[in-house]
Amino acid sequence: MIAQNLPLMRRFTIVLLLVLSSRVLGAGVRPNIVFVISDDQRFDALGAAGNEKIHTPNLDRMCAEGAYFRQSTVVVPQCSPVRASLLTGLVPHQNGWLSNQYHRPEVDGKHGLKGPFLPQLLSDGGYHTVLVGKWHLQIEPWESGFAEVRTWMPAGGGPYQGAKLAQGNSRKTTENPGMTNLVFEEDAEGFLKSAAAKEKPFFMWLALTAPHVPWTPNPPEIIKLYEGKTSDELLPKNFPTDIPHHDFLHYYEATSLADAITGRIKRTIKDAGLAENTVLVFLGDNGFMMGQKGVGAKGAGGKVVPYEASARTPLMIEGAGVSLKGTTDACVSSIDLPPTFLSLAGMKVPEHFVGRDLTPLLRGEAGAEKAFEEAFVEFADDQSKEFGDKAYRQIRTETHKLIVWVKPDKKPELYDVVKDPLEDHNLYGNEDVKAVQDDLSNRLSDWLKRTKDETFKWPR
């Protein structure tokens, strides 16, 4: 406490110094967290990933000024289950929300999914929790701990203009004439500029629908970026030129829209005077195959599979307290974000959360990357008609991945993701990679034991 008998100016100076020093040292200051989720953005739909044909200047700047996790994978490459995993801190085989199509009966329905949920924990810990954008879950946002539900989309997708959107604590939707992602942006910026953003630390979950199909229409300044280009001219590095592929022109437009929005969100954070105490996180919720390995050359089904373009997505973190700048090869996962957010908020991480706290990495602590030598991916829905036969578990390191299919008659797959980025050569069973295979197999088995995966046995 500051002594009451000090002259007023002196007391004021001491208070000012205390505030300043706590901000500089990060001690006791709990940062705001702005979490932007893009939809179906593959890892290489990003300039910083070596794609010279796409325009993502704002995300590229995040990769340079913040921490860019270029090896990052999502724990399940599909929209709804990855969101459920972010809410619960648990992977699908633990929380039961296995896919868009199938949830275990005991967790199905509006009140099925069990907490404690990340927003609830943050809210209980003194954070103001705000949702804007795509939701794609059956549980109500306000029942999972969002104190302020702004403009949101209960469904998993919709048109880029004239989408049916809800407002506040109701699922009732009305057609919004605006461009969907710009409506979300404006609403998110409305919050950032509001007095509420300065009252106490906040957590904002901003989920865009870009670049999920239908990819158009887009604003004129976005269309202009690719004027005169054709989809064939826009294939990313390594993409095979001799296979049917989806429409890269409009996929890139939609990705550039997500990029432009993220850039403006960042500027709004700055203009609102929040930059000094805000962490900005950008995550792609899953990738999109665009035709690779015969998956997703048409329509909306380019994900779920365990391959790089589906399971590997952009992840960048920058802002208050993040001293790690530039690219890291740490094998982090989307499931590491719930514990990381709680840790940033100075809160205890529940023991049952299976992700790892990224904050030692973000602070640039020596040796922190040792805890990130591997990441796990799964598609645990072995029940649905649409995807049931595609269920798998996967372990991925910086150099290799092992995929084990739930169906016992499907041969496991082992790839050297550095030498064989398109995963064309299955090395499983080759004598010269036996040591790698055994090591990955043991680590996968340990993970399944640790996460009590009762529905899948490995080795078998």
Provide the minimum distance between the beta carbon of 276 and Ca ion in the complex, in angstroms, as a whole number: 32
Q: Which is nearer to Ca ion, 256 or 310 (CB)?
A: 310
Closest CB to Ca ion belongs to which residue?
Answer: 79
Residue ranges in 75-94 that form contacts with Ca ion under rule CB under 5 A = 79
The residue whose two tokens read 């269309």 is 223
Separation CA 286–CA 84 (nearest Å): 13
Provide the minimum distance between the beta carbon of 286 and Ca ion in the complex, in angstroms, as a whole number: 5
Provide the minimum distance between the beta carbon of 135 and Ca ion in the complex, in angstroms, as a whole number: 12
What is the amino acid identity at position 83? Answer: R
Q: Which is nearer to Ca ion, 116 or 214 (CB)?
A: 214
Asked if 90 and 338 count as a contact pair (C-beta separation under 8 A), the reply is no
The secondary structure element, H or E, covering residue 252 is helix 248-271
Q: Which is nearer to Ca ion, 152 or 415 (CB)?
A: 152
Provide the minimum distance between the beta carbon of 155 and Ca ion in the complex, in angstroms, as a whole number: 12
Provide the minimum distance between the beta carbon of 208 and Ca ion in the complex, in angstroms, as a whole number: 10
Among 357, 379, 377, residue whose Cα is nearest residue 368: 357
Q: Which residues of 265-282 are buried (b: 16+ CB within 10 A; e: fewer)?
A: bbebbeebebbebbbbbb
CA distances (Å), origin 132, targets 166, 169, 184, 203 = 10, 12, 6, 11
* x/- map, 127-166, Ca ion, by CB under 5 A: ----------------------------------------
Q: Which is nearer to Ca ion, 148 or 259 (CB)?
A: 259
Q: Which is nearer to Ca ion, 207 or 274 (CB)?
A: 207
Provide the minimum distance between the beta carbon of 293 and Ca ion in the complex, in angstroms, as a whole number: 18
Structure-block tokens of residue 230: 């054709």
Residue ranges in 266-295 that form contacts with Ca ion under rule CB under 5 A = 285-286
Provide the minimum distance between the beta carbon of 414 and Ca ion in the complex, in angstroms, as a whole number: 27
* x/- map, 420-449, Ca ion, by CB under 5 A: ------------------------------
Structure-block tokens of residue 345: 């908020």
Q: Which is nearer to Ca ion, 39 or 374 (CB)?
A: 39
The residue whose two tokens read 């939701």 is 135
Q: Which is nearer to Ca ion, 79 or 113 (CB)?
A: 79
Provide the minimum distance between the beta carbon of 91 and Ca ion in the complex, in angstroms, as a whole number: 17
* x/- map, 22-41, Ca ion, by CB under 5 A: -----------------xx-
Among 144, 128, 148, residue whose Cα is nearest residue 136: 144
Q: If binding means CB under 5 A, how many residues of this protein chain bind Ca ion?
A: 5
Asked if 272 and 265 count as a contact pair (C-beta separation under 8 A), the reply is no
Q: Which is nearer to Ca ion, 146 or 288 (CB)?
A: 288
Residue ranges in 38-57 that form contacts with Ca ion under rule CB under 5 A = 39-40
The residue whose two tokens read 């490459």 is 77
Provide the 3-class DSSP secondary structure of residue 213: coil
Calculate the dihedral angle through the C-alpha atoms of 323, 325, 330, 334, rounding to the nearest 10 degrees. 80
Provide the minimum distance between the beta carbon of 348 and Ca ion in the complex, in angstroms, as a whole number: 31
Separation CA 387–CA 12 (nearest Å): 64
Contact partners, residue 210, CB within 8 Å, separation at least 6: 38, 39, 160, 181, 254, 255, 257, 258, 261
Structure-block tokens of residue 445: 């088995």
Q: Which is nearer to Ca ion, 71 or 286 (CB)?
A: 286
Binding site residues, Ca ion, CB under 5 A: 39-40, 79, 285-286
